[in-house]
């Protein structure tokens, strides 16, 4: 999963995460497959507009605070495309999952709300008369995909928080190790013989020789190759 996420904490590039790109392409293929091939040009226009939005959202823009909002803008534009189409392009509703996924990984659940709730509200308001005239099936369908998108965004934001906690723990361990090494380096500079094991042993032998009546004293050093 980490390879698919590829640095999910970089909010400015959440729209370009491998898992988001795969989901975007897969959902577009699904939308195209569900759209009848015999549809008129007017019916295919929302799909073409959605493809344009997906391509623009997949461009590797330089990471910034503005690019961090791309999933939110993508969700709002996708909702506007679906809302302005008539009749309701039901095969395009699954695309709401994509901006929710990207927003959850890059911003968190607050970003998911901004990406999904306005889009779902606009779609529902634009097709309210059409949906109520056709029964509750269309209303349920819009609500269903909005809820699914929110659920996907919630899972993505949970994964983001989980990975952030793991990364913070790793950084804390690296920081502690670096501080320990820095302290050891400072201590070694204050010692006349340093912290080398052989040098410390020779110094200890010299001190022992001063207290023993010995003609000679030696130090045996065993390397890793001799073990």
Residue with more model confidence, 43 or 44: 44
Give the per-residue pLDDT at 131: 66
Give the 3-state secondary structure of residue 140. helix
Q: How confident is the model at residue 2 (pLDDT cuts 50, 70, 90)?
A: very low
DSSP class of 35: S
Q: How confident is the model at residue 208 (pLDDT cuts 50, 70, 90)?
A: confident
Single pTM value for the model: 0.68
d(CA 74, CA 98): 9
Helix-helix angle 41-58:97-106, to 10 degrees: 10
Angle (nearest 5°) at CA 75 between 69 and 76: 90
Give the per-residue pLDDT at 7: 46
On the question of pLDDT at 130 being above 80, the answer is no
Give the per-residue pLDDT at 4: 46
Residue with more model confidence, 132 or 169: 132
Please state, in angstroms and as integers, the Cα–Cα distance from residue 75 to each residue in 108, 151, 189, following that order. 14, 15, 59
Q: Which of 87, 80, 83, 74 is nearest to 23 (CA)?
A: 74
């Amino acid at each position: 999963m980490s390879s698919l996420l590829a640095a999910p904490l970089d909010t400015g590039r959440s729209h370009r995460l491998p898992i988001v790109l795969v989901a975007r392409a897969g959902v577009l293929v699904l939308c195209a497959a569900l759209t009848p091939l015999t549809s008129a040009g007017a019916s295919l226009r929302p799909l073409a507009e959605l493809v344009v939005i997906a391509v623009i959202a997949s461009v590797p823009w330089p990471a910034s605070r503005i690019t961090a909002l791309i999933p939110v803008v993508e969700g709002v534009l996708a909702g506007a495309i679906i809302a302005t189409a008539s009749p309701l392009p039901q095969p395009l509703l699954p695309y709401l999952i994509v901006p929710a996924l990207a927003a959850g990984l890059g911003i968190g659940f607050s970003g998911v709300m901004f990406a999904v709730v306005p889009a779902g509200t606009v779609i529902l308001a634009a097709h309210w008369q059409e949906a109520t005239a056709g029964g509750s099936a269309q209303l349920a369908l819009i609500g269903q995909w909005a809820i699914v998108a929110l659920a996907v965004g919630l899972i993505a934001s949970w994964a983001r928080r989980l990975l952030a906690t793991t990364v913070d723990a790793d950084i804390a361990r690296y920081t502690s190790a670096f501080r320990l090494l820095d302290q050891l380096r400072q201590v070694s500079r204050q010692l006349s013989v340093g912290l080398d094991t052989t040098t410390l042993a020779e110094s200890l032998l010299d001190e022992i020789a001063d207290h023993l009546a010995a003609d000679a004293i030696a130090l045996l050093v065993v390397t890793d190759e001799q073990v």
